[in-house]
């Protein structure tokens, strides 16, 4: 760690673009500070849209890897309609890692933006939800355009599943968990 405040190295205090393989060091830095039992993954999205299914797919995989606290799975998604209720279910004092899909530039599709700090769910589709997470991972699942809801509907499920697995497997490896 590079500063006394316990933050990630300076490059991580701003949103940083990285590949799936580069997620490992991000999660390892978090695991050095927090045990898996103290971390809750907040995986935002719905199973009713391929692009927005990243959160529930990731959450389900994280449970399979053995993470004890995951909010937002395929069985029980955490979406715009229930986010605030689901936030109230998280035990006090837990460290939250927020995971959400987003839309971006063509050159960023397939990449992740990580940060020590919150993300704002539904920002790419004009939603107004509270910022969440002490740490965040935003996965660029498709290109931002004039019809963001439609874009999320026609996003490749294969791409989203691959990205969800990259997040879950890199997090599990960093915390010493195996499926």
- Note the pLDDT tens digit of each residue in 75-91: 999 998 999 999 999 99
Q: Where are the domains of the chain?
A: 10-174
CATH 2.30.330.10 fits 10-174, yes or no: no
How far is Cα 157 from Cα 148, in angstroms, rounded to an integer? 16
Half-sphere exposure of 142 (CA within 13 A, CB side): 25
**pLDDT recorded at residue 13:** 65
Percent of the chain predicted with pLDDT > 90: 76
- Note the pLDDT tens digit of each residue in 125-179: 667 788 999 999 999 999 998 887 788 888 999 999 999 999 999 999 999 997 5
Beta pairing, strands 112-115 & 16-18: antiparallel
């Amino acid at each position: 760690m590079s500063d006394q405040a316990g933050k990630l190295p300076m490059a991580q205090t701003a949103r940083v673009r990285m590949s799936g393989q580069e997620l490992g060091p991000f999660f390892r830095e978090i695991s050095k500070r927090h045990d898996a039992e103290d971390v809750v993954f907040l995986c935002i999205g719905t199973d009713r849209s391929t692009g927005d299914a990243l959160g529930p797919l990731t959450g389900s995989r994280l449970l399979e890897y053995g993470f004890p606290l995951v909010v937002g799975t395929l069985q029980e998604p955490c979406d715009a309609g229930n986010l605030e209720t689901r936030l109230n279910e998280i035990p006090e004092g837990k460290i939250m890692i927020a995971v959400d899909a987003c839309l971006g530039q063509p050159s960023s599709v397939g990449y992740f933006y990580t940060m020590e700090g919150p993300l704002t769910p539904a920002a790419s589709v004009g939603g107004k939800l509270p910022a969440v997470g002490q740490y965040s991972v935003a996965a660029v699942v498709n290109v931002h355009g004039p019809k963001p809801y439609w874009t999320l509907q026609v996003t490749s499920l294969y791409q989203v599943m691959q990205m969800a697995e990259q997040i879950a497997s890199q997090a599990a490896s960093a915390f010493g968990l195996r499926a």
